[in-house]
Structure 1
């Protein structure tokens, strides 16, 4: 939270013009109700995060929302809540159940006008970013900083993003030029999407579907053949075998 405050409101707004609403999806470590209320009033900055298990918020009333709007499918409740203690910070608490995982999630936000399902979707997109970080840390084994200076950290971040984007481009090239794709993973994704649609055409569960991260078998194949004196044809044959077998 200290790092978040040090950035300042201009940096948090990301260069967006004055008068334009900015919504930040942050993890639980970024919850500070007094700060949220302050930047909402002064800078048009709105936060959304997950409720912590040990929070004891005061329920101030139920909010009405359109249950017939397909974007709100899966939303169980939309409430006004407050932290108490005279902070004056009114919050919105949205309870949502994921139809695929059968898991209930509770979100807190200072944004009071958008449909609750859209706010849930905004936070869901944050998980795509988290998955990329997980790919960099666990699949590419980038767990340590290259240096302590700001320049070193910035350079490392740019190279990691470059590596991720190059892998995305390589997968697209393999599909278009060689007809190679991870059909099993696509089928699994299609089954999950079909299940969600059958259980109520859940907007949040099915909207903006995409492969956020590369599979471990693709990364292992790439790592093995980058350092080998093997022909491109042999490498492609191995990838076809990997996708067909595993």
Structure 2
């Protein structure tokens, strides 16, 4: 990033998405008036960033800044299948583009055995229904639910599919099964994907067959009502620091399939956890680490809700829901890329890194987990960083003035 020409922050923040839209998207429609695709893309990201309580409030804020748009034009855009196709294409290509740009910012760089495996934490996320949403047969509103994936290499987010909303209720699992293989098409890494999910995604025979067909491997938790038969140990090196906390690593049989079963006792808390997986080539401590990193998707949802204020559906129907999910994920990824670019200029989230180090140093050596200490960059976007970006874009601040603000807010808490 260079500041010699002193551009505005908003000119550089949206530049990657606009570049992809202009040069790599087939569903783009060129128009110079009204709500162009470029304007729709920018406004959708800003709608997610500005934390306005409603779509009308967002449009008023735009109008008060001399950027007015008819209300019907904005809301009708969220019913457009063509615009959804355009946005989906931008989001998909942006993930691939950002993955390359963040090449040296890999959460899992210390673990060479994961270099060529896509590793995705997957979970559902619910927000309040839209104002005009339908009620179900019992007269109740249904929250809008979307499945997302978080890349555990780069921290990038991608929506997968909607599983409920507008009077319809579905469990995450069948929706995930219907969509995940299409969702992972074009994944840049060469080896089999690893999916890390909570016990809602337990289906032992399904995952064994997926591995046999070389589609994907699973890491999840054993359910309390599962009664395995232990066949024998897999064997692991207890002296490997990565395996600290591993009690046992066994082959286990369940009602309809055999999996690897890892009993882990968290050194910091003493809590016992049991993981099941079809990954047979990874060290057991690394299996435990990847499951612990699954919680980072929960942290991302907390950012969506409490730091970005995205708590309610913007419209009704699957088209509007998917557009909103793409805009929120694209914003998350643009913020992640901006943070990485700032790091290349010498800035970093010093306050977060120092706090993590202090928390770790308080633990006695026998309660520390070396595997967790080897994970870099895996922290949530902070309130101060998000506010600084929001203010820089809202008030059209040039980089010459914004850079010292980023330095101040990233180095220490208010």
When normalised by structure 1's length, the TM-score is: 0.75
| Residues 51/140 of structure 1: CA separation in 2 closer, same or farther (3 Å cut) | same
Shift of 1:52: 2.3
Structure 2 residue 370 is the aligned partner of structure 1 residue 198: no
In 2, distance between residues paired with 1:242 and 1:15? Answer: 35
Answer with 101-110 or 72-81: which moved more: 101-110
Partner residue, 2:287: 119
Structure 2 residue 229 is the aligned partner of structure 1 residue 58: yes
Question: Do the aligned partners of 1:196 and 1:206 also contact (CA within 8 Å) in 2?
Answer: no
In 1, distance between residues paired with 2:376 and 2:338? Answer: 20
Question: Do the aligned partners of 1:13 and 1:45 also contact (CA within 8 Å) in 2?
Answer: no
Structure 2 residue 273 is the aligned partner of structure 1 residue 109: no
Residue-by-residue CA offset, 1:94-116 (whole Å, 9 max, x unaligned): 12233345443321112223221
Q: Looking at both structures, which has the greater relative contact order when contacts are Cα pairs under 8 Å and sequence separation is at least 6? A: 2
| Residues 210/237 of structure 1: CA separation in 2 closer, same or farther (3 Å cut) | closer
Q: Secondary structure at the match of 2:213?
A: helix
In 2, distance between residues paired with 1:115 and 1:96? Answer: 12
Q: CA RMSD in A?
A: 3.8
Shift of 1:91: 1.4
Residue-by-residue CA offset, 1:130-184 (whole Å, 9 max, x unaligned): 322221123212123333445433432332133223434555676777x876544
Q: Equivalent of 1:95, from 257, 263, 273?
A: 263
Question: Do the aligned partners of 2:245 and 2:264 also contact (CA within 8 Å) in 1?
Answer: yes
Partner residue, 1:78: 249
Answer with 185-194 or 215-224: which moved more: 215-224
Question: Do the aligned partners of 1:25 and 1:126 also contact (CA within 8 Å) in 2?
Answer: yes
Q: Secondary structure at the match of 1:113?
A: coil
Where does the alignment leave 5 or more consecutive residues of structure 1 unmatched? none
Structure 2 residue 215 is the aligned partner of structure 1 residue 47: no
Shift of 1:208: 2.0
Question: Do the aligned partners of 1:100 and 1:205 also contact (CA within 8 Å) in 2?
Answer: no
Answer with 168-177 or 200-209: which moved more: 168-177
When normalised by structure 2's length, the TM-score is: 0.48
Question: Do the aligned partners of 2:350 and 2:410 also contact (CA within 8 Å) in 1?
Answer: no
Answer with 26-35 or 112-121: which moved more: 112-121
In 1, distance between residues paired with 2:362 and 2:263? Answer: 21
Q: Secondary structure at the match of 1:64?
A: coil
Answer with 196-205 or 186-195: which moved more: 196-205
Question: Do the aligned partners of 1:21 and 1:46 also contact (CA within 8 Å) in 2?
Answer: yes
Q: Equivalent of 1:213, from 372, 380, 384?
A: 380
In 2, distance between residues paired with 1:41 and 1:166? Answer: 37
Aligned residues: 240
Answer with 224-233 or 138-147: which moved more: 224-233
Name the one with the larger helix percent: 1
In the TM superposition, what are the counterparts of 1:117-156 in structure 2 within 5 Å? Answer: 117-156=285-324
Structure 2 residue 355 is the aligned partner of structure 1 residue 188: yes
In 2, distance between residues paired with 1:45 and 1:226? Answer: 40
| Residues 69/151 of structure 1: CA separation in 2 closer, same or farther (3 Å cut) | same
